[in-house]
């Protein structure tokens, strides 16, 4: 990356933003923090004939951006606080407010993506590119990209067809789990009750992602640039360890895991990613997901070292 100022897109109070800001300052840099979480209610932004402008900020002086959070509604946006404090008089009023909130959220999303794309066309570099953040919601597309790159992933079925779920459960050796197609919810183990007709009929509301459960140890691997900069075992008794961690321990990767992590990041087009890997008892493994905007400050705080935020600061400078 060429010389120039650094910027961070995200709320100033976000722990990841704070960590990277601290590391940048230690390197003699003072990053600009652009908080888009309250746009358009707070702050002014414009595109004049495709040229981006932010009130009070020379965005063209910033050569590199760390995109922590864009806070984009997909596809619906909650009602604003003023509307939420006013009880609707009728069902029609509820629907009218929902329509307006959806339209406003769609406009906001379109503008922000176009604004950041204009910065990118003008020469700014992003970690990661705004377009890559859509992988938060496109889990199935990411799984296919990993398969095509030869990265081992769990056998998967996304469907609204009850018969397909039953056939998948019958063909799969061992347990299966289910999770939202677009993420945002915990991964849960499929029970016998889940395979009953009354439960499977709920697939008519929305498709679900089913996967073979990969037993073993939870690994979180961080790739910055093209290098693995940190890897941890996250100890938990739950199928989905989020919020149920009992310990986080730095751990070494085998050669295959190291190579797969680099190949996975490249396949997903991610300069920075947190990769979830399950290592089976026989030391084989599967990549579960590549997160395009992973959290890391909590792990760094628990382990007392800062390899991820240090690597990000080095990449930005």
- Per residue in 50-72, pLDDT (tens digit) is 999 999 899 999 999 999 988 66
Summarize the confidence of residues 143-156 as an average pLDDT: 97
Token pair recorded at residue 78: 């909650």
Question: Is the predicted pLDDT of residue 78 greater than 60, yes or no?
Answer: no
- Residue 153 has φ and ψ, to the nearest 5°, of -130, 160
The answer to whether the predicted template modeling score (pTM) of the entire model surpasses 0.95 is no
Q: Is the Cβ–Cβ distance between 187 and 261 less than 8 Å?
A: no
Summarize the confidence of residues 287-311 as an average pLDDT: 96
Residue of 68, 28, 9, 16 whose CA lies nearest to 300: 16
Beta strands in the chain (DSSP E): 5-9, 32-34, 45-48, 51-54, 62-67, 125-127, 156-159, 176-179, 188-189, 208-212, 217-224, 227-235, 247-250, 272-279, 285-291
What's the mean pLDDT when you consider all of the chain? 91
Residue 253 buriedness (CB in 10 A; 0-12 / 13-18 / 19+): middle
DSSP 201: G
Residues β-bridged to residue 159: 208
Summarize the confidence of residues 5-28 as an average pLDDT: 96
Measured CA angle at 224 (ends 222, 226), to 5 deg: 110
Residue 62 CB contacts under 8 Å (≥ 6 apart), including other chains: 4, 5, 6, 7, 32, 124
Domains and CATH numbers, the chain: 5-127 (3.40.50), 155-212 (3.30.1490.20), 217-316 (3.30.470.20)
Residue of 72, 155, 151, 85 whose CA lies nearest to 114: 72
Q: Which among 33-37, 95-99, 171-175, 208-212 has the top mean pLDDT?
A: 208-212
Q: Is-cis flag, bond preceding 128, omega within 30?
A: yes
Summarize the confidence of residues 285-293 as an average pLDDT: 96
């Amino acid at each position: 990356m060429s010389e120039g100022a650094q910027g961070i897109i995200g709320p100033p109070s976000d722990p990841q933003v704070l960590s990277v800001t601290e590391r940048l300052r230690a390197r003699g840099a003072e990053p600009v923090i652009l908080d888009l979480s309250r746009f358009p209610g707070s702050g002014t932004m414009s595109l004049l004939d495709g040229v981006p402008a932010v009130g009070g900020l020379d965005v063209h002086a910033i050569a590199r951006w760390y995109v922590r959070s864009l806070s984009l509604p997909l596809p619906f946006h909650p009602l604003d606080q003023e509307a939420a404090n006013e009880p609707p008089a009728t069902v029609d009023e509820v629907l009218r407010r929902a329509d307006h909130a959806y339209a406003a959220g769609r406009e906001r999303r379109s503008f922000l993506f176009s604004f950041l794309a204009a910065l990118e066309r003008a020469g700014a570099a992003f970690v990661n590119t705004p377009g890559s953040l859509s992988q938060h919601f496109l889990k199935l597309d990411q799984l296919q990209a990993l398969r095509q790159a030869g990265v081992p992933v769990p056998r998967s079925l996304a469907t609204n067809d009850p018969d397909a779920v039953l056939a998948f459960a019958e063909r799969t050796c061992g347990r299966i789990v289910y999770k939202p197609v677009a993420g945002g919810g915990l991964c849960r183990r499929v029970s016998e009750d889940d395979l009953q007709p009354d439960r499977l009929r709920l697939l008519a509301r929305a498709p679900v992602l089913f996967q073979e459960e990969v037993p073993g140890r939870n690994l979180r691997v961080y790739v910055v640039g093209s290098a693995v900069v940190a890897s941890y075992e996250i100890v938990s008794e739950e199928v989905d360890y989020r919020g149920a961690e009992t310990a986080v321990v730095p751990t070494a990767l085998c050669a295959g895991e190291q190579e797969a992590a680099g190949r996975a990041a490249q396949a997903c087009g991610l300069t920075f990613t947190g990769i979830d890997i399950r290592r089976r008892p026989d030391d084989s493994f599967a990549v579960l997901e590549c997160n395009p905007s992973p959290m890391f400050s909590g792990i760094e705080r628990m382990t007392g070292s800062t390899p991820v935020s240090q690597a990000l600061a080095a990449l930005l400078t």
